[in-house]
Amino acid sequence: MAASAARSSSASENSYGSLRADFNAAYKKMTDSSREFNAVLMTHPAGLSAEAQQARKDGAARAYEDAHEQFMAAVTKLNEFMIARIISSRAALPPPRLTVARKEAAL
């Protein structure tokens, strides 16, 4: 039983590590694409037509939107994992003991 619990704990730690790495990578991608989007908005290269400038803005906006969606998916997965761990650890706890007041009320 102890070996099984150790394997389960190790698998859980590996899952957490993987989810956390995904979260960190998605966060970095989102912040990088946000910086890039802001840079595109702030710069106006000479010689670019209005259409070309708009295409740059649209591309940067799409990149940020995609990165934000990936980040939110990573947040959701990490939250679901953590909630499942909290619920499973709570189920392993013994039930709360009745207080004296609750025992008297039950009588």
User: Which residue reads 């400038």 in tokens?
Assistant: 53
Whether 14 shows a pLDDT value over 80: the answer reads yes
**Cα dihedral sign, 80-82-87-92:** positive
Residue 1: the pLDDT is 43
Residue 84: pLDDT over 80: yes
The total number of structural domains in the chain stands at 1
Domain of 101, in residue numbers? 2-106
Higher pLDDT, 7 or 21: 21
Q: Which of 60, 57, 3 is nearest to 32 (CA)?
A: 60
pTM of the predicted model as reported, rounded to 2 decimal places: 0.72
Amino acid identity for residue 24 in this structure: N
pLDDT digits (tens, 9 = 90+) for 15-74: 999 999 999 999 999 999 999 999 999 998 889 999 999 999 999 999 999 999 999 999
What three-state secondary structure class fits 82?
A: helix
Going 36 to 69 to 75 to 14, the CA torsion angle's sign is: negative
